[in-house]
Every structure is written in structure tokens, then in C-alpha cells.
Amino acid sequence: MYTVVDIETTGNGIQGNRITEIALYNIDGDQITDSFSSLVNPGCEIPAFITGLTGITTAMVRRAPTFEALAPQIAAFCEGRVFVAHSVNFDYPIVREEFARTGQVFQRKKLCTVRLSRKVFPGLRSYSLGKLCSSLEIPLRDRHRASGDAHATALLLQRILRHPQGGEIVRSFLNARSQEGTLPPGLPRASFQRLPEAPGIYYFKDQGGAILYVGKAINLRKRVLGHFYDTAEKERQLCRATSEIDFELSGSDLLALLMEAVAIKRHFPPFNQAQKNTRPAYGLFLYHDRDGIAHLAINRLRKGQQAARVFYSQADARLFLEHLCTEYQLCAKYCHLQEGVERCGHFRVPVCQGICRGEEPLAAYNARVADALHSLQPSGEHLIIGEKGRNAEEQGIIWIEDGIFRGYGFVDRDRSLDGLPDLEAVIEPQPRYPETDRILEAYLLKHPGRARRIRVE
């Protein structure tokens, strides 16, 4: 037993999306047995663009019953039935949210006629309701009104159920392990099923193969499935537009972070926002006070300023400065790790030779500050970080030159990299981006022992 549902809404995202019209058709076996439809007062104005699409105006619904008034009738109408809709992951969450506002739990098994149609009627150019009905010669009247669209969807479900393989396909979709009710309407199940439970990056693509979104994960399959359960409007828009999911294995989380950053900068996907926004940069600066004491300080980097070192996180900048102070026995007070104190006493910078207590000559202290800054100058240092490979027989390699990400590659686990020519032979060069600098900077500050030097001749 099935209830085919269609709704019209105010179009304000799932949390603010209110139903303006609802229609339900019950199907027993493969016969339509009953129907119900009603305008619904959403309790708010209907935007003009929604009125232009559906023809439903605020005046039309002003005297209509609220969803709360209709809820008992709707719940009884579809009690014990499978909730069916064309792109069910749009309609079902909104209906469930309307019930939740009334204090009721609405839970039904669900079927998507888009996904069913792709399986039963493969090879059609489009599976939108209008074009699908045209291809299958199903009458569709009152387009973009709940009753007309629900009736056409009910006729479509009848056609599916009467197909020789229809009943078997429907039963397979209703199997709790099939995940068919969770997947986006345009995504073939095989595209999701081939995702491994391993680290890497994934690409959401549209019907033409254009990349919509790039993400990274420790467990690709689990992370992608999380997108399908997310009820945020942006996630729902992404899922509705997705027709294919591709992936690349990374072997480790660090490599996945770098691969994701490079892919976002390279493809500029429309649904990626975080890494497309410019992060504020922070610089390490030197200045001398009136007593001639050299100060090191972290400040926001402004256009045109030259800093001794650039960071993309205040936390990373402070951690770096703590390491520098410890290595060169600098004063936490004059490195501005402690403010408003007469003498330093920083718990992570335990050694100060006494400049803040008047126990160290000014020239000696300033010389150590100069040594610390000199150590930040490019020195032609080449580092590699070894990571897990994509399988047990290989390892991932990340190449860093003077703190700059140069690229990555994968080599046999037993292969040794003894010099720069060996490294260049296996590394896939990558452009430098602030995001990759930030990722490696944060990693090396937290794991300073993970990188090793490569001999350069």
C-alpha cells in the first residue's frame, strides 16, 4: 500500500519552508483507491517568485486550514503506507518537519519515483516529472500544483508497478539495506556503492560531469552518506544536482587535506565556500622599543607589509613563536606571548636569560633575536613527510622546499629516496596555495619529528 504525495511550499529552505498545498493519492496493489488535497495556510507571506511558479497567492491560503488542523487527517490517510514522491528526499523531510512543529512524530518508509523510473525505464534523456510524463505518455495537468503533480506521480507509480520487473524492483528499493531511499534522485546506486571505506577526496558531479563539490574524508563512503542525511538547504540542493560521485584515494588524512585544497583551487566548485574565501593572514614582525630592545610580535598582515614569516592561523603563529623563543632562549615578554607583565614566566617558554630582569646585556639578547630571524631565511632545505599509502605495498610522500609545498606522490614502501633526483622522479608537482601552506605549517608545528631532510648535491 502506497501514498503518493506532492506538496507546494514557500521555498524558504527546509527549516523555514512551509507547505502551501498538499495532495495525496492512495494506491492499493496497482489501483488508485482514494485521494485528498487541500490548500494550507503557511502562517507567512508567499514569495512572489513562488506565486509565479505555482499560481498560489497569499490571499488564496489566508482562509485555508493550517497544517496543524490537517495533520490528523493526513496522518490517518497514509497510516501504514509507503510514502512515495517524485524526488522523495525533498517532500518527505518537509512533511516530517511540519508534523514536528505540531509535536507529532511522522515516520514512514519512502520511495522515490525518480530513482524507480531510472531503474525501470533506463536511457531516457530526463527524469523530471514533466519530461518523464511526456516520454511515457502519462497525462499531466495543473503542473506545479500539488494535486496535478501528485496525480501524475500516482499514474507513474502505477506504470512502474505494472512493469514486468516493477514489483521486484520496488521490493528491492524497500529493503532497509538498499539505501535507495537515502540516495539523491539522480545518483545511480552503483556510483555510491563503489566508494571505499578509506581516506581520500571525493567529487560530486552534475549530469554533464562538471564538478559541483570537492570534499575529503577518512572514510569516503561514510562521509558521502552524511551529505545525504544532512537536512541543510545547501546540502539538499547539492544532492539534487548530483548525478555522479568520483573519488581519489589518499592513504592518509594529511594527504587528503592537501589533495582537497589543490582540487578546490583548481576546479573552483560552486558548492565549496570555505576554502574559496580568503583567510586572514598573520605576520611575524620585528621592531625595537625606546630602550633598543628587539621585539618579535604577531600581527594581522596588511597589504604591502613584509613579514619575517606568514601564517594563516593565529594559533599556529603563537605556537611557532613559542618554539622559536624556546630554541633561541628569547623572552616571552618581548615576544608578546605575555602582555602586561614586568617579568616573563611563560610555562611553554621556560628559559629566558634575563633581559626582562636587567640581567642580560642588550647586545647579547638582540643578537639572539637576529639569529632567530636569520634561521627563517630560505636555505634550500628540502623535507619529505612519509605517510600511509593507498595500499599496504606503498607509501605516500609529501615534498616541502623551504616550508613551501611542492607536491606529493606514491612509491613502493621499500623504495629509498636518497636525493633530489629520486624525489623529483616520483613527485607530482603542485602549485603553491595559502591553504596548502597553512595545512603543512600546522602539521609540522604539531609533529616536528615527522619530516626528514633530503640530501641536495
Is residue 183 within 8 Å of residue 192, measured between CB atoms? yes
User: Would you put residue 137 in left (φ > 0), alpha (ψ -120 to 50) or beta?
Assistant: left
Copy the grid coordinates of residue 289.
622599543
Alpha helices per DSSP H over 24-145: 48-54, 58-61, 67-77, 88-101, 113-120, 129-136
Is residue 271 within 8 Å of residue 234, measured between CB atoms? yes
Is residue 85 within 8 Å of residue 37, measured between CB atoms? no
Q: Would residue 346 show up in a list of annotated catalytic residues for this protein? A: no
Copy the grid coordinates of residue 224.
558521502
Is residue 384 within 8 Å of residue 454, measured between CB atoms? yes
The residue among 257, 288, 269, 234 whose CA lies nearest residue 405 is: 257
The residue among 398, 401, 405 whose CA lies nearest residue 382 is: 401
> Which residue's C-alpha cell is 628587539?
294
In the DSSP assignment, the letter for residue 189 is H
Length of the chain: 457
The residue among 423, 434, 374 whose CA lies nearest residue 398 is: 423
Three-state secondary structure of 430-457:
CCCCHHHHHHHHHHHHHCHHHEEECCCC
Helix (H) or strand (E) holding 213: strand 211-217
Question: How far apart, in whole angstroms, are the C-alpha atoms of residue 180 and residue 391?
Answer: 30
DSSP strand E in 176-335: where? 200-205, 211-217, 244-249, 282-288, 294-300, 309-311
In the DSSP assignment, the letter for residue 237 is H
3-state SS class at 410 = strand
Question: How far apart, in whole angstroms, are the C-alpha atoms of residue 415 and residue 413?
Answer: 6
The residue among 97, 135, 92, 131 whose CA lies nearest residue 111 is: 92
Which position among 144, 295, 323, 336 bears the catalytic label? Answer: 144
Residues with a catalytic annotation lie at 144
